Amino acid sequence: MSTIKTAVIGVGYLGKFHAQKYAQIDTSELVAVCDANLEIAQTIADEHNVPAFTDYHQLIGKVGAVSIVVPTQKHYEVAKVFLENGIHVLLEKPITSTVEEAQDLVKIADDNQCVFQIGHLERFNPAVLALEDELKQPLFIESNRIAPFNPRGADVNVVLDLMIHDIDIILDFARSPVKHIDANGVAVISNEIDIANARLTFEDGCVANVTASRVSMKSERIMRIFQHDSYISIDFQNKKLSLHKKGDGEMYPGIADIESNERTFEQGDALYSEIEAFLNSIKTGEPPVVSGKAGLLALQTASKISELLGTN
C-alpha cells in the first residue's frame, strides 16, 4: 500500500485543518471533502483541487480512510456508515453523544477490522509523549483546564467539551478502574454546565481532582502528577514539562533533597502527528494511540460526571 485514499467529513473550523494535514502527509492521497454546506465544502475542495460533496454516502467505495469532524450529535450516524463499509475512521472527540452509541461503534469497528481512532489531541502533545519513562504509579493527579467561552463547543457541557481531554489522559496515566466519582458544576453563560469539578478515586488508591471551565478570561491547561518519589507538572499550552525527583542527599535532616529538571518543547503540530499516527496504524496494523475503546472509557467516565451534575 503506497498511499491511502482519504477524505474529511465536515470541513468547518477544525475540519479544514484535517484536510490540510491529509494533503501534506506522504502516505495520504486526499481525494474529497464533504460538508452539508456546499459553499464551505467547495471552498476547501478548491484549496486542495479535489471534488466537494454534501452527501457523505457518496464517498463509499472512493476512500479507504476518513476524518469525521461533524457535531457530536452526528458522530454515531456518520461513523457507523463508514465503519460498516470497512473504511477506517478518525473521529473527533467525544466519541459519541451516548455510551450506547460508542459501544456500538466499537463493536462495528472490531467486526469489520477497521482502525478506529478518537481525536483526543492532547495525547500527541510533546510534553505528554515525553512522560512515558517517568510515570510509575500516580498517587494524586490535579488538573486545571480553563478557557474563555467559545460558542463552537456550547452544544455540549464543559465536561464533554473540555474536561474529557484530561479525563482521557488521566485514565491512561492511572491505568486502574475508577471506583468512585464526586462532581459539582454550574451553568454560567450557556444552558449547559460551564464550570465543573470532579474527583475520581481509582481502585488502586490514586485520586484525581479535575477542574474545567469555559468562562475564564484566560486560557490555562495544567496537570500535576504526584508519585512516591516525584512530582511532575505538565503545561499543555506552553509545551512545558517540569520534573522534580527525590535525590540521594538530604535538604534538611531526614528529608531528601529535590532534583529538578524543566524541559520546553517546540510547538510542533499535534494534529499532523495525530493524523500521521492514524494512517500509520492502517498501514502497519498497530493499535491506534487512542482507540475506540479508550474513547468509550473516557465517555463513560464523562457521562457519569455529567449524570452527577444533573445534565445527563
**What is the per-residue pLDDT for 33?**
98
Could you tell me the pTM of the whole model?
0.90
**Judgement on whether residues 239 and 134 belong to the same structural domain of the protein:** yes
Give a yes or no: residue 294 inside a domain.
no
The grid coordinates listed for 10 are 465536515
Contact yes or no for 76/101 (Cβ under 8 A)? yes
At 77 the pLDDT is: 98
Each residue of 169-224: pLDDT tens digit? 999 999 999 999 999 999 998 888 999 999 999 999 999 999 999 999 899 999 99
Per-residue burial over 66-104, b = 16 or more CB atoms within 10 Å of its CB, e = otherwise: bbbbbebebbbebbbbbbeeebbbbbbbbbbbebebbbb
* Angstrom distance (rounded) from CA 295 to CA 108: 14
How large is the greatest C-alpha to C-alpha distance in the chain, in angstroms? 72
Please name the helix (run of DSSP H) or strand (run of DSSP E) that holds residue 29, with its range, or none: strand 28-34
| Domains identified in the chain, total number | 2
Task: For residues 132 and 257, state if they share a domain.
Answer: yes
- Same domain as 186, residue 87: no
Q: Which domain holds residue 222?
A: 123-267+301-308
| CATH number of the domain where residue 89 is located | 3.40.50.720
Mean pLDDT is lowest, of 33-37, 100-104, 154-158, for 154-158
Element (H, E) at 273: helix 270-284
User: Is the domain of 182 the same as that of 244?
Assistant: yes
Asked if residue 97 and residue 131 are part of one domain, the reply reads no
Phi-psi domain of 108 (left: phi exceeds 0; alpha: psi -120 through 50; beta: other): alpha
pLDDT of residue 254: 58
pLDDT tens for each residue of 240-292: 999 998 876 665 665 667 888 999 998 889 999 999 999 999 999 999 999 99
> What is the pLDDT at residue 83?
98
In this structure, are 188 and 243 located in the same domain?
yes
Rounded average pLDDT over 23-48: 97
Which amino acid type is present at position 58?
Q
Q: For residues 153 and 90, which has the higher predicted lDDT (pLDDT)?
A: 90
Pairing relationship of beta strands 230-235 and 220-227 according to DSSP bridges: antiparallel
pLDDT value at residue 312: 59
Mean pLDDT of the chain: 93
Write the CB contacts of 3 (distance below 8 Å, at least 6 apart in sequence): 26, 27, 28, 29
Burial bucket for residue 180 (CB in 10 Å: 0-12, 13-18, 19+): exposed
Question: Which pLDDT value is given to residue 266?
Answer: 86
